[in-house]
């Protein structure tokens, strides 16, 4: 790629995606006086998901990179679907990801009067008309992508009549659906969006910000392009499906500029489309996510199994890991389905460096160290993070009775099994090497207790501990550990593309094992000493040898709940 950078570009952050290249070209041509202003324009009708995160990182990333800025604009032109709950969640999610919008958040509803005035301008120019037909009639006249549409019988109303009707629409003289305002363009256009699209419809509903001031609301197409233009957005970065809308935005803007020439001074927004993010084993449309919430299949928008930003946050994902992910997936115009393993890779990479290690046993079996004195406790030193010495050490109690993971014992184990079996020596991490002498089973053949002896010369740090043994296990003291609840999450769907089956509802592919809550888990007593505070206030840990876990928001001091963010990579488990 070009090594050149523009004056406004940050050369420390090389970028190669096509949007950067296009913006670089614009800047080299001296457009917009070298300014770059982007925007992120969500409709407040649902929670943000990982696909939005890609868009957020792209738009805010561009704003930062070119030292311009990014507006957060709520696209709130449909009062029946929008709510301040969503406005608040969106601001929280964008902030949590680490981005700052320029000035205060803005709203398309801020421009309702301006948009109305522009609509009047179009009527005056005989470029818009009021149609009295029903939605069905209008749809029938629209034609199909391969056949032309037909003119509305109301298409040739006089300017005066249109003006009068539109004003009365605004005053509330009509019921929902009685009239609409349409642009007069071309019913035979190969682009369906140019076939006399709706500009305004009547909706008698309370708007989350303008209350009952309006009973007519602009359509997205009549609002979005002008909002960008009005705010001085230089580059409007959006997803591919809006490409066919672009000629319409340009048509609207050109009509407005013709009617109001002094606006020609302002820069025209350039829209650039990219392919939206798709992730396998999940669904990404707000409609389907809402369906999961409403049907109580998940506990809410922030259920840790949801691909929402709030769900990922509750799952334990860090903002940095999501930004890393957005960076790694890249930006292009071809359809894509990203493997979730990339997302998991990103959070492991981030948490490996940051998460303090603690000991927890999820599926315990009791081990008795028969030659260790009853009632005695020996405090062992353990590093909080081998990747980061500055995180220090803490002590953990070693006693005669401990729990180990049931999976870490196998009777008659093959030699490839690097764990405990009768007659074998293994290391208890940060403690002693122990040898399994015998086991006790109940009537069902289930192991109820394992008896071991320890070698007093093999305490961690001693020379005797350098002995090569079969494996290293994690453990907790029976008497000193705390009982916890753990949520083990798996993918929500069993199918790679649950929404991709024409004749089968996506909910048919739900994974019945997506949540496994277990209460038989034990954690070392002083796990808080490991220093788990992250910038966002969420407590995250690595449970040694198991995975990354975070403290759930519903935890109480005496009954902690941990959510598994992601297991550690495991080259044994998948062979087993």
Task: Kindly identify the residues of this chain, within the stretch 46-75, that bind RNA according to CB under 7 A.
Answer: 75
- Which positions ≥6 away from 113 have C-beta within 8 Å? none
Q: SS in 3 state form for 294-360?
A: HCCCCCCCCCCCCCEHHHHHHHCCCHHHHHHHHHHHCCCCCCCCECHHHHHHHHHHHHHHHCCEECE
For the question of residue 43 being annotated catalytic, the response is: yes
Is residue 198 at the binding interface for RNA, with CB under 7 A as the rule? Answer: yes
- Which positions ≥6 away from 262 have C-beta within 8 Å? none
Site string for RNA, 89-118 (x = CB under 7 A): ------------------------------
Q: Which is nearer to RNA, 267 or 500 (CB)?
A: 500
Q: Are 226 and 253 in contact (CB under 8 A)?
A: yes
SS3 of residue 446 by DSSP: coil
Is residue 329 at the binding interface for RNA, with CB under 7 A as the rule? Answer: yes
Per-residue CA distances from 388 to 351, 355, 430, 518 (Å): 12, 10, 17, 31
SS3 of residue 22 by DSSP: helix
CB of 489 to RNA, least distance (A): 18
Q: Write b or e for each residue in 353-377: b if 16 or more Cβ atoms lie within 10 A of its Cβ, otherwise e.
A: ebbbbbbbbbebbebbbeebeeeee
Interface with RNA in residues 289-328 (CB under 7 A): 328
Is residue 436 at the binding interface for RNA, with CB under 7 A as the rule? Answer: no
Binder of RNA out of 6, 95, 102, 133 (CB under 7 A): 133
Binder of RNA out of 35, 121, 150, 418 (CB under 7 A): 418
Is residue 193 at the binding interface for RNA, with CB under 7 A as the rule? Answer: yes
Per-residue CA distances from 330 to 38, 58, 324 (Å): 18, 9, 10
CB of 262 to RNA, least distance (A): 28
CB of 522 to RNA, least distance (A): 17
Is residue 352 at the binding interface for RNA, with CB under 7 A as the rule? Answer: yes
Is residue 81 at the binding interface for RNA, with CB under 7 A as the rule? Answer: yes
Binder of RNA out of 84, 176, 479, 517 (CB under 7 A): 176
Q: Which is nearer to RNA, 212 or 336 (CB)?
A: 336
For the question of residue 429 being annotated catalytic, the response is: no
Is residue 330 at the binding interface for RNA, with CB under 7 A as the rule? Answer: yes
Distance of CA 457 to the CA centre of its chain: 50
SS3 of residue 252 by DSSP: helix
What is the distance between the alpha carbons of residues 416 and 423, in angstroms, rounded to a whole number?
15
Stretch that binds RNA, among 55-63, 156-164, 185-193, 204-212 (CB under 7 A): 185-193
Q: Which is nearer to RNA, 145 or 261 (CB)?
A: 145
Structural Rg of the chain based on CA atoms: 31
SS3 of residue 365 by DSSP: strand
Stretch that binds RNA, among 55-63, 234-242, 259-267, 511-519 (CB under 7 A): 234-242
Is residue 331 at the binding interface for RNA, with CB under 7 A as the rule? Answer: yes
CB of 245 to RNA, least distance (A): 6
Task: Find residue 180's DSSP bridge partners.
Answer: 131, 201
For the question of residue 276 being annotated catalytic, the response is: yes
Q: Are 403 and 521 in contact (CB under 8 A)?
A: no
Is residue 342 at the binding interface for RNA, with CB under 7 A as the rule? Answer: yes
Is residue 405 at the binding interface for RNA, with CB under 7 A as the rule? Answer: no
Is residue 270 at the binding interface for RNA, with CB under 7 A as the rule? Answer: no
Stretch that binds RNA, among 129-137, 164-172, 369-377, 448-456 (CB under 7 A): 129-137
Catalytic site positions: 43, 276, 286
């Amino acid at each position: 790629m070009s090594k050149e950078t523009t004056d406004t570009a940050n050369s420390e952050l090389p970028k190669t995606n096509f949007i950067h290249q296009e913006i670089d070209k614009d800047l080299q041509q001296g457009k917009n006086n070298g300014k770059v202003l982007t925007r992120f324009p969500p409709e407040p009708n649902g929670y943000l998901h990982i696909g939005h995160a890609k868009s957020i990182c792209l738009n805010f990333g561009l704003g930062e990179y070119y030292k311009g800025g990014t507006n957060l604009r709520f696209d709130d032109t449909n009062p029946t679907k929008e709510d301040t709950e969503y406005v608040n969640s969106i601001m929280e999610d964008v902030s949590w990801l680490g981005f700052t919008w320029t000035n205060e958040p803005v709203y398309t509803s801020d421009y309702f009067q301006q948009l109305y005035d522009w609509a009047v301008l179009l009527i005056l120019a005989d470029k818009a008309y009021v149609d009295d037909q029903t939605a069905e009639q209008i749809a029938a006249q629209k034609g199909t992508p391969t056949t032309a549409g037909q003119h509305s019988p109301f298409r040739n109303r006089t300017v005066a009549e249109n003006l009068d009707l539109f004003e009365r629409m605004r005053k509330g003289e009509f019921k929902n659906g009685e009239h609409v305002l349409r642009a007069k363009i071309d019913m035979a256009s190969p682009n369906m969006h140019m076939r006399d699209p709706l500009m305004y419809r009547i909706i008698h509903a309370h708007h989350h910000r303008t209350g009952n001031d309006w009973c007519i609301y602009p359509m997205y197409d009549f609002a979005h392009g002008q909002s960008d233009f009005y705010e001085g957005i230089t580059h409007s970065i959006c997803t591919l499906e809006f490409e066919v809308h672009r000629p319409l935005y340009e048509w609207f803007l050109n009509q407005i500029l013709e009617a109001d020439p002094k606006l020609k001074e302002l820069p025209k927004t350039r829209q650039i489309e990219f392919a939206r993010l798709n992730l396998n084993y999940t669904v990404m449309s707000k409609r389907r996510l809402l369906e999961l919430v409403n049907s109580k299949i998940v506990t809410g928008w922030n259920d840790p199994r949801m691909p929402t930003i709030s769900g990922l946050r509750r799952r334990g994902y860090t903002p940095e890991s999501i930004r890393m992910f957005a960076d790694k997936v890249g930006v292009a115009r071809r359809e894509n389905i990203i493997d979730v393993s990339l997302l998991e890779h990103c959070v492991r990479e981030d948490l490996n460096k940051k998460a303090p290690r603690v000991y927890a046993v999820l599926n315990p079996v009791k081990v008795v160290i028969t030659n260790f004195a009853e009632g005695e406790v020996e405090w062992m030193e353990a590093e909080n993070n081998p990747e980061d010495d500055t995180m220090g050490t803490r002590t953990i109690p070693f006693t005669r009775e401990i729990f180990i993971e049931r999976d870490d014992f196998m009777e008659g184990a093959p030699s490839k099994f690097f764990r405990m079996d009768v007659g074998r020596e293994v290391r208890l991490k940060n403690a002693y090497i122990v040898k399994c002498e015998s086991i006790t089973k109940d009537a069902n053949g289930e192991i109820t207790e394992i008896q071991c002896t320890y070698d007093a010369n093999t305490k961690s740090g001693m020379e005797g501990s350098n002995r090569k043994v079969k494996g290293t296990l994690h453990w907790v003291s029976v008497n000193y550990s705390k009982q916890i609840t753990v949520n083990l999450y798996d993918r929500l769907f069993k199918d790679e593309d649950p929404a991709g089956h024409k004749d089968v509802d996506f909910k048919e592919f739900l994974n019945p094992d997506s949540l496994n809550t277990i209460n038989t888990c034990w954690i070392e007593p002083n796990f808080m000493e490991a220093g788990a505070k992250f910038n966002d206030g969420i407590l995250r840990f690595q449970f040694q040898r198991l995975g990354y876990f975070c403290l759930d928001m519903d935890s109480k001091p005496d009954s902690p709940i941990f959510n598994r963010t992601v297991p550690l990579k495991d080259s044994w488990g998948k062979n087993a």
